[in-house]
Amino acid sequence: FVCTQRELLPCKSLPENLLFQLLGLSIATLSTVSHYGLRFTLISNVSLDSNSYRVIHHRAFYFGICLSMTLILAALLSSTATVRESQCLTAMGFFCFALAFCGLIPAACWRYTHSTEVEDSMMDVYDFVYEEVRRNTSSFRRHELTAIHEAFLCCGKHSPFGDTTNVEHKTCPPSQVHDEGKDCLQEIQDFLKKHMDFVFSLLGIAIGFTVYGMILTSFLCFSIHFSSNLYRKGKYILR
């Protein structure tokens, strides 16, 4: 970017706007993977209405998409405001950053206060399907359990209530053996813990960037205002 001295400070903010756009795209990508990923869709399709996982699954996707669109819109408004030196567009960019911040704080608090709700609801779904297959060898549930075992590369669960190897032999992948196969409940918990830790880290980064975005747009707004006044100061018209 080529900037005059009067436009130097606004032009410095343009690379930061690219970072906001990349952050918005990262959140949109993570939301899409979390919603349409094989492991997540399998559990969502199997879960009952009484289970909270399906509600969390859909709400997290829509929240992530709305958040990413808000951040990208804020970055575009800030870039346009910087080029045009428009206080109105800068104020709109600040409003978008503030809106994203107001959405991120409750999401981070929910994740902190409900740290295991997603993992528990997902394991409850697996427990339900497993017990259904163990009790009445339903072909429909057996196909669902087989798909879960293949997706998570695990084999049944280690239960102290008796020998359930018959279920594992019918539903586990050929590469998994009951004695050596991984416990599905533990695999689901470990997988979700890593995923949710990554989501929580991205939320923390997004909160930091939105605070920085609000400070930046406020500074740009005042910079445009005062530079505009200084630019007009000392102008004379000869008659």
Identify the weakest region by mean pLDDT among 43-47, 160-164, 207-211.
160-164
> Which pLDDT score, from 0 to 100, does residue 202 have?
92
Confidence of residue 7 (pLDDT cuts 50, 70, 90): very low
In the prediction, which pLDDT does 227 show? 63
- For 129-150, write each residue's pLDDT tens digit: 988 888 876 678 889 898 998 8
What is the per-residue pLDDT for 217?
Answer: 85
Q: Is the pLDDT of residue 66 over 70?
A: yes
DSSP the chain: ----STTHHHHHTHHHHHHHHHHHHHHHHHHHHHHHSHHHHHHHHH--TTSSHHHHHHHHHHHHHHHHHHHHHHHHHHHHHHHHT-HHHHHHHHHHHHHHHHHHHHHHHHHHHTTTHHHHHHHHHHHHHHHHHHHH--HHHHHHHHHHHHHHT------TTS--HHHHHHHS-TT--TTTSPPHHHHHHHHHHHHHHHHHHHHHHHHHHHHHHHHHHHHHHHHHHHHHHHHHTT-----
Mean pLDDT computed over 207-224: 86
pLDDT of 62 strictly over 90: yes
Residue 106, pLDDT score: 93
pLDDT tens-digit readout, 149-206: 889 988 888 765 545 557 777 778 776 655 556 788 989 999 999 998 899 899 999 9
